[in-house]
């Protein structure tokens, strides 16, 4: 006779969060927010590549664009009701601003 498998203790909480957030995640604003976050990540990667070759102007342009994308993503997350998730974007925005200071972009 086999014993039934027990689910991890946090499983009911995770399931409830997914059930409640599921409709919000499917909203166009939330999908757009994820797209903006992905674009910002790509721009930061491009800025690092430009820094390697020494093109400071392009580094500053890409970092400025990445900052704009993160701010757009934060606004879109607020629109779709996931304002709590936008808290994670604060650290990303902070690191972009630090990179801009490092390269003396402002």
CATH fit for domain 28-103, picks 1.10.3470, 1.10.1740, 2.60.40, 1.20.58? 1.20.58
For residue 99 the two structure tokens come to 């990179």
Going residue by residue through the chain, which has 106 residues, state the pLDDT in tens, using 9 for 90 and above: 555 554 444 444 444 444 445 554 456 768 888 899 999 999 999 999 999 999 999 999 999 999 999 999 888 888 887 766 666 788 899 999 999 999 999 7
Residue ranges of the alpha helices (H) in 10-86? Answer: 11-25, 28-53, 56-79
What is the reported pLDDT for 1?
A: 55
Q: Locate 74 and state its tokens.
A: 């934060």
Name the DSSP class of 3. P
User: How far apart, in whole angstroms, are the C-alpha atoms of residue 97 and residue 103?
Assistant: 10
Give the span between the Cα atoms of 45 and 32, in whole angstroms.
20
Does the pTM surpass 0.85? The reply is: no
DSSP tag of 1: -
pLDDT for residue 84 = 64
Nearest of 6, 1, 105 to residue 47 by alpha carbon: 105
Q: Where are the domains of the chain?
A: 28-103
């Amino acid at each position: 006779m086999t014993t039934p498998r027990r689910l991890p203790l946090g499983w009911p909480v995770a399931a409830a969060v997914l059930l409640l957030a599921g409709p919000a995640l499917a909203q166009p604003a939330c999908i757009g927010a994820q797209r903006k976050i992905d674009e910002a990540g790509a721009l930061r990667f491009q800025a690092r590549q430009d820094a390697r070759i020494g093109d400071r102007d392009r580094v500053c342009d890409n970092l400025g664009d990445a900052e704009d994308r993160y701010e757009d993503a934060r606004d879109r997350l607020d629109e779709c009701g996931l304002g709590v998730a936008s808290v994670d974007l604060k650290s990303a925005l902070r690191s972009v601003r630090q990179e801009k200071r490092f390269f003396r972009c402002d």
